[in-house]
Copies of this chain bind each other. A is one copy, B any other.
């Protein structure tokens, strides 16, 4: 029998595929406290039978589920299934779940890039369900809210793309076909720093404490999978080609992402009040906070919460715009945004189960 929430409504039955990584445990943390959701299954072929709380001791006394083999998880009895898996897994299981009436939120890349050729280039595998891809919606709520409400399949955005697209959207969108853009869309720069959980929970030497602590470095300068994802979204907003240089860095913190975005202001736009533009754009957004002029956001101000904070600078009143964006890469950059999508897809209040205040200090 279904569990019911305080109002007596049946709770949403939730399945998670691949719950042993960081986005998996974060989904568990968020959903175990969600007033309208009920965890029904969490799969891991390797850990079949292991109580989830034995792997993640923060869940002791909170989550009683055991990992189950995908074969036995009865995911088709869920209302929604989250894929917290490597790329390619959601593709393989999507059709069967849809046929059973189950909605899908994929935290990997299977339903992010609309251009399958680009997907195949960067993820080194063929896209096996282009028709599902076509119906899927890119789950950046602040851009695609209405489409998400009606989606059966959502591709949850990557962590870097969430910050970069939210930081540039007010500059690009809604300009119309004949209007000049506010900034030079050919010379955009995204200089980003990520906490180490962004690299996942993989047994790899370069993300050992002894390697990543007290250290800072760029990586993927020659090419990163999130680059085409960001560009595809920016081009949709702009309505034309966009040129972006993207340099991600690894910084010694557990959670948190900071993006410093650079855009050249067009001569025609020199009189624009960019602070006001951003404030207006995000005035009604529950999870986007435009900081007062002159203040800078810090990653810990959103630690363990679903908030994004943005600051807008124009140093010395010149032509270079500098946008600062912070998020928790595991929450708004992954699992929190996934829950936000779920809320929309099921007609729940968008912030249900997402009211956590950031943990500071």
Contact = CB atoms under 8 A, between A and B. Distances in A.
Given A313-B222, A357-B32, A258 B249 contact: yes
Interface stretch (A36-44, A136-144, A160-168, A213-221): A213-221
Interface stretch (A59-67, A125-133, A171-179, A266-274): A59-67
A22 interface: yes
Interface string A320-353: 1010101000100000000000000000000000
Contacts of A357: 29, 32-33, 58-59, 62
A252 B252 contact: yes
A116 interface: no
A259 to B, nearest CB: 10
Contact of A262 (B189, B208, B356): B189
B256 A215 contact: yes
B303 A214 contact: yes
A104 interface: no
A32 to B, nearest CB: 6
A167 B361 CA distance: 26
A360 B253 CA distance: 13
Contact of A304 (B60, B302, B304): B304
A247 interface: yes
Nearest to A214: B253
B262 A262 contact: yes
Given A204-B203, A264-B187, A322 B217 contact: no
Given A201-B208, A208-B196, A302-B58, A258 B217 contact: yes
Interface residues of A, number: 89
Given A60-B289, A215-B299, A253-B252, A294 B208 contact: no
B249 A193 contact: yes
Nearest to A264: B187
A140 to B, nearest CB: 20
A39 B211 CA distance: 25
Contacts of A360: 25, 29, 56-58
Given A60-B289, A245-B320, A315-B221, A210 B210 contact: no
Contact of A213 (B58, B203, B254, B291): B254
A361 B255 CA distance: 8
Nearest to A193: B216
A298 B215 contact: yes
Nearest to A321: B245
Contacts of A303: 58, 214, 359
Contacts of A296: 217-219, 221
Contacts of A215: 253, 256, 298-300
* Most chain B CB atoms below 10 A, which of A302, A318, A322, A326: A322
A328 to B, nearest CB: 10
Interface in A171-207: 187, 189, 191, 193, 195-197, 199, 201-205, 207
10 contacts: A58-B358, A58-B360, A187-B264, A201-B208, A203-B203, A210-B254, A214-B255, A221-B296, A247-B322, A254-B361
Given A197-B361, A247-B322, 15 more contacts: A29-B359, A57-B298, A189-B262, A209-B213, A213-B214, A213-B254, A215-B300, A217-B297, A217-B326, A219-B296, A221-B296, A221-B324, A223-B316, A243-B318, A245-B322
